[in-house]
Amino acid sequence: MPMVSLARSSLLYEWRRYLPAVLAITFAGLLMVVQVALLMGLFATVSVVVDKSAAQLWIGFRDTQSVDLGRPLAARSDAAAWAHPGVERVERYVSAYGDLRRSDGVPITVLLNAVDTSDHALAFSALLTPQQRAMLREPGAILIDEADVSKLGARTDGKVEINGRGARIAGVVRGLRAVGGVNVVGSYATMRQLAPETAEQVTFHLVRLRPGWDPRAVAQDIGDRSATPRYSVWLSEDFSVRSQTYWLLESGTGIGSGFASVLALIVGIAITSQTLAAAVMGSIKEFAALRALGVSRGSLRRVVIEQSLWVGAVGLAVTALLVAGIAWLGTALNVAMAFSAWMLGGVAALMIAIAVASGVLALRPLLHAEPATLLR
């Protein structure tokens, strides 16, 4: 019987012995994927205003660490952008923290986001429909994430109080959740009503370029080159990464979540390696018999590698089904999870590598011992 088919036939014949290894890879992979997806989804909510907008460049206060930590810009910070021939549109974005009172008197911190409500506006272009922008043109109208409705104790078309002033929840959107408080979207006019003291303080300028212009080159052209710059200019993707990196590496929430993800990785590696090694060691007498019959070490190593690959492939196939179910459940429950291709591919490659390495290492005692000794 060829050595290639020996690996598969032994797995089928002794599937009960290798089933724990398959389950170990399944649940270790699931643990790692879900933990990292939760971490990435959590911090993707930080940069939602950047990721869901059509701006190519963002102008903000000098060295702003995250989009939710923006500060008021100095006057005429957008002058260079307006004067640049490659700039097609410049749009204000105003944000300020507010205090929302529920009907039972409990205060909740909200982040007020004032945006352009025209149909072709840049802010939240991938999130708000033309109908929702039309809603925001009504006096005192705001939008919140559908997952925050119960938190606010409110309802669609219901009244709420923000900073002691009345507002109306005109509708809800999906994908607007914040890490801490609640994101509230309104028009410039509504911002002047709810937070008049900060309504004219621009937090960011959103910039869209004409076709054919290089965003990085334009960012350098319109940057503040004075000795003490008043503002910084970022590419949208750079600003998104900057915001997420700040919360991941410099906040207590990020460090704690990152540590939990690393711990999940270590536990998954330990469980998988030990379980698969035990399965290989359980077949040590069969491998010893093959050694006694003259089968080379290289051939045995190839058998174990193929067995490990099959165990890993089956385990990851089950993991994929479970991940799909959890992703669907997370969407239904409005849980922020991000399943990127590089993350899924990285976890799969890691689990396969662990499976192969564990199998080969478990075979080392056999390869370096006399067959007669192992058959006793």
In which residue are the tokens 């300028």 written? 205
| Contacts (Cβ under 8 Å, ≥6 apart) of 100 | 107, 108, 109, 110, 152, 160, 161, 162, 182, 184
Q: What are phi and psi of 291, to 5 degrees?
A: -65, -40
* Per-residue pLDDT band at 1 (split at 50, 70, 90): very low
- pLDDT tens, position by position, 287-327: 667 666 666 767 777 877 888 888 888 999 999 999 999 99
Lowest mean pLDDT among 28-32, 281-285, 349-353: 281-285
Lowest mean pLDDT among 68-72, 157-161, 297-301, 303-307: 297-301
| Contacts (Cβ under 8 Å, ≥6 apart) of 280 | 304, 307, 358, 359, 362, 363
Confirm if 187 and 142 have CB atoms less than 8 A apart.
no
pLDDT score of 329 more than 60: yes
Q: What is the pLDDT of residue 322?
A: 95
Q: What is the pLDDT of residue 147?
A: 84
**Between 189 and 376, where is the model more confident?**
189
Domain residue limits, the chain:
3-44+252-374, 50-247
Confirm if 309 and 352 have CB atoms less than 8 A apart.
yes
pLDDT score of 100 more than 70: yes
**Between 10 and 2, where is the model more confident?**
10
**What beta strand segments (E) does the chain contain?**
57-61, 87-101, 107-115, 141-145, 159-162, 165-173, 182-187, 204-209, 231-235
pLDDT score of 188 more than 80: yes
Helices and strands, counts by H and E, the chain: 15, 9
CA 48 to chain centre: 11
- Cα(351)–Cα(343) distance, rounded to whole angstroms? 12
- pLDDT tens, position by position, 171-183: 899 888 877 678 9
* Per-residue pLDDT band at 149 (split at 50, 70, 90): confident
Confirm if 39 and 336 have CB atoms less than 8 A apart.
no
Sequence-ordered alpha helix ranges (H) in 224-296? 236-249, 252-282, 284-292
24 C-beta neighbours (distance < 10 Å), count: 26
Q: What is the pLDDT of residue 5?
A: 62
313-347 CB burial, b ≥16 within 10 A, e <16: ebbbebbbeebeebbeebeeeebbbbbeeebbeeb
